[in-house]
Structure formats: structure tokens, C-alpha cells
């Protein structure tokens, strides 16, 4: 029987992926990649030019696992608040009012800081 396995003696020496055939050396390829990365001008992005939505999108793209964790924890907290409202409506109402006050204070501080910066 003929050996049809690629590692056998009848393997095609010009097969794709054979480094000996194409004549390239890995050290040459890595030095070319390093040269290309050094010549890329203005590749850095100034994060101060991004607005809040763009920063959220950038952070989500850089760390999707963290973004997914934040979404899951937020949904869990919302579910907990609904369950609390069904069992103890007065306590849930106080939590909601306290949350709205904290959000309003954070928004106020955010707008004050933004006005002081400009």
C-alpha cells in the first residue's frame, strides 16, 4: 500500500506552509513587522478628545468580559429590587428614592467638573 500521509516520503515539498520551500526566515519576518510598527505615525489616540459614549464603547471593546459582568450584575441588582418591592414596598421605595438622589448628586458633580474644566 502506498503511504498517503502528508508526513510520508511522497509528500509534496512545495506544499503551502513549508518554510524551507518559500525561502523566508522567521527572523526576517519579525524584523519586517517591527519596522512596520515603528513607522506608523500618529497611531496613538488622545482619550481626552472622546466623549462619554465613545469611551464606553472603547472600554467595552477592550474588555468585553468586564462589560458583560457589569451588565449581568446590573440585571441581578434590578431583579433584586423588583423582588424587594414585591415583599417590602416601603423599603424598596426608600431604596429607589436614595438611588435617585445619589444619581442626581453624581450628575451635578459631573456637570460642575465639566464647567470648571472648560
CA 96 from centroid of its chain's CA atoms: 31
C-alpha cell recorded at residue 57: 464603547
DSSP symbol at 76: H
User: What is the C-alpha separation between 48 and 38, in angstroms, rounded?
Assistant: 24
pLDDT at 24: 52
Contact yes or no for 15/6 (Cβ under 8 A): yes
Domain segments of the chain as ranges: 49-117
Distances from the Cα of 50 to the Cα of 22, 56, 64, 100, angstroms = 45, 10, 19, 27
pTM for this entry:
0.44
What are the tens digits of pLDDT across the range 22-77? 555 555 555 555 445 555 555 677 778 888 888 888 888 999 999 999 999 999 99
Longest dimension (CA), the chain: 84
Amino acid at each position: 500500500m502506498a503511504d498517503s500521509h502528508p508526513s510520508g516520503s511522497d509528500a509534496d515539498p512545495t506544499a503551502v506552509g513549508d518554510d524551507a520551500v518559500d525561502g523566508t526566515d522567521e527572523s526576517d519576518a519579525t524584523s519586517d513587522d517591527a519596522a512596520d510598527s515603528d513607522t506608523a505615525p500618529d497611531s496613538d489616540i488622545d482619550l481626552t478628545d472622546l466623549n462619554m459614549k465613545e469611551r464606553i464603547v472603547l472600554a467595552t471593546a477592550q474588555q468585553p468580559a468586564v462589560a458583560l459582568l457589569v451588565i449581568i450584575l446590573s440585571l441581578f441588582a434590578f431583579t433584586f429590587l423588583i423582588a424587594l418591592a414585591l415583599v417590602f414596598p416601603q423599603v424598596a421605595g426608600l431604596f429607589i428614592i436614595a438611588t435617585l438622589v445619589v444619581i442626581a448628586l453624581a450628575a451635578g458633580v459631573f456637570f460642575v467638573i465639566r464647567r470648571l474644566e472648560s
